[in-house]
Amino acid sequence: NELKEFIYQGVLTEFNEVKKLIENPDEPS
């Protein structure tokens, strides 16, 4: 349903942000 899609997109976004921080720890956010 729509809520599940919304949550899934949010999780993917958070995961990508965390991955960027891990890969580039010295980069300003």
Average pLDDT score, the chain:
89
- Averaged pLDDT for residues 9-28: 88
User: What's the confidence (pLDDT) of residue 27?
Assistant: 65
> What are the Cα distances from residue 22, in Å, to 1, 4, 11, 12, 28?
32, 27, 16, 15, 12
- Averaged pLDDT for residues 3-15: 96
Considering only the C-alpha atoms of the chain, give the largest distance between any 2 of them, rounded to a whole number of Å.
Answer: 39
Token pair listed for 17: 């942000």
Is the pLDDT confidence value at 7 over 60? yes
pTM of the model: 0.56
- d(CA 16, CA 28) in angstroms, rounded, equals 15
Token pair listed for 6: 């919304």
